[in-house]
Structures are given as C-alpha cells and as structure tokens.
Amino acid sequence: MDFASLPKVVLHDHLDGGLRPATIVELAAEYGYTDLPTTDFEALEQWFDQGLSGSLEQYLAAFDHTVAVMQHPEAVERVAYESLVDAANDGVIHLESRFAPSLLTGGGMDRLEALGAAAAGFRRAESETAATWGLIVDAMRQDSDSDDVAEVAIAAKDLGVVGFDLAGPEAGFPASRHRGACETVLAAGLGLTIHAGEAAGPRSILDALDCGAQRIGHGFRIIDDCVVTDGEIVDLGPVARRVHEGRIPLEICPISTTHTTGMPVADHPIDLLRRAGFVVTVSPDNRLMSRTTTSGEYRLLATTFGWGPSEFDHVGRAAAGAIFGTGSLRTVVRDRLAEGTRPVNLE
C-alpha cells in the first residue's frame, strides 16, 4: 500500500517537535545558538531520535534545542511553513499544529507575536499546497501562566487559533491546576484538548474530562480502565465508559508512545480500543523526535495489526469529525477524504 497517497487528517502534531534537522542547524547559525550537539545534518537527525528515551521526561528534554532556535518571528514562520509543506507532502489534507508560545519569548518576542508568525507560515504553505490547518495553543502543566496563555489564545482566534491544550509532564501536574484557563477558553468558543493518559493512568484522563476536555491527547492508558479477555475489551470501568459513551476522541500517536514508555508496538492498545468502538485517531506527535510521519504511523499499524484501507478510512473520518473550528471546515475535510483528494506536493 502506498501510505503517502492516502489523504490524512492530523490532530496531534507539535510544531517544535517537527523541525527539519537542516533548518535547526541553519537557524542556530543565523541566531548564534551554539549548544547543538552537532551541526552535521544526518548526525543531528540521529541525535534527536528519542526511540530509546524510555520516559516522557527524557523525551521532552530534546525540545530544549528546537525551542532555542525558534525565539524569533522569522524562525517561527519558517518552521510553520515547512511543517505544513512536509505534512502535505505526506498526504495530510488538514493539520492541527500546537505549540507553547510562552516557550518562545526568550528573545523578546511575545506570545501573540509568536502565534502570528506561525499563522503567517501556515497561510503561505496553505496557498501553495491547499492543505488546511488550525493552531492549538499549549500551556505547560508545570508552569503557572495558563490563565495568561488562555487569554492570548482567545485574542489570536482571528489568526487561526482553534484550540487550547495542556502539555508537558503529566505525572504530578494535574490538569485541574489549570481549570480556570480551561473554563475561559471553552467560554470563548475554543476547542479544548488535554494531554492525559500518556504518562499517567485513567485518573489523569478523568481529571482532564472534569476540566471540560473535548478530546484527549494520547489517552491510550484508558485501557487500564477496561476489562480485556481473550484479546477483546469485554467491560468498561467508569472513566472508560465516560470516554466511550461520550464519544471523546483519542489523539493516539503510536510510535511516540513506544518511545516514551518502552511499550512494545504489539502491546499498544490502539487496535483493541478501535475494535471496541472508542473514537480513535492517529497522529505523529513529534516527527523529529520520533523520526516518523503520519504515513509511518499507518505503515506500523498495517504491519503490526493488519490495518488496511477500511481501518485507515475509519480513523481519518473520525479525525475529520473531531476537527476544532467551524462545521463547514469539517464538512470540507470530510468531502476531501471521501474524494481521496491529496494536497499539492512541493519539492
């Protein structure tokens, strides 16, 4: 199967986790960042591969370098442009990209300026590829500025911001610490997705749901609240039932999960969850740190679980239905999926 030819919808993709290695080296030289482990493109790509990280905290440490070269508007615009071009070349027809603007203020840029720069890059890429996009604004769980970040996200709605997220270390930093920010963005009409059920279990997912989360970032540990017998989910605990009956989409990123947890691919519960009727979507998470693409995720699922066109069509339609933004956009994306319409490839 030619996985790159399949039109795809991506809901979970970190802008600062998907830089091209060559771009990192060039931006470091341009802005005087001297702490890269190497300036050889191929060696740097290998260094960023977090396949053996084994924990979310170690995996996240690699972001220090990508964030460091994104401290200027021109850099953010370039990274956003290249991100959507690369996704479109992989068959992605709609991309929701997320990042934490608070992490990009070290060079004097403010949060709103960072979001504006990203939007400019995405708009330019959209004009060339016809791939559509939306921005999700991250606040970091371990920080205390989520209320301010929420206000900036709302102020940037006209720039293409469609959602708000809580990211960063999950264990020890419950979503409920940021309940006020979550309530603020929901009241303003933004979508709310929260990283949960990745490094912590169902209680973390419940905490996110109680904050109003409409989607769950990762969320695969919902399996810990399910009863599995003979390779099938036969009963649901209270949190799993709430997710299942509420049709809460799970933004599952299989390859990065194997990197942050050490879980063997064959043990990933994505296929169990899909067969049990959970709303499963597939995304690459961090294309650089996990050396992946959405096609790479699809290929893994085909090889490991025997997924074929019907399964990929199912998760694509599930993702299209979960897009943040207007109903008309969801309709357009669904139609493009049904037609098999790909973006324009750029060299």
Are 66 and 288 within 8 A, CB to CB? Answer: yes
Q: How far is the C-alpha of 251 from the C-alpha of 269, rounded, in Å?
A: 13
Q: Average pLDDT, stretch 81-96?
A: 97
CA 277/CA 13 separation, integer angstroms? 24
Dump pLDDT digits (tens) for 102-121.
999 999 999 999 999 999 99
Give tens-digit pLDDT for 216-235.
999 999 999 999 999 999 99
Positions annotated as catalytic residues are 198
Prediction pTM value = 0.95
- Helix 146-155 vs helix 111-129: crossing angle, to nearest 10: 40
C-beta atoms surrounding 110 within 10 Å? 13
The residue type at 143: D
Dihedral sign from CA coordinates of 314, 323, 131, 270: negative
Residue at 202: amino acid letter: P
Mean pLDDT across 179-201: 96
Half-sphere exposure of residue 161: CA atoms within 13 angstroms, side-chain side: 34
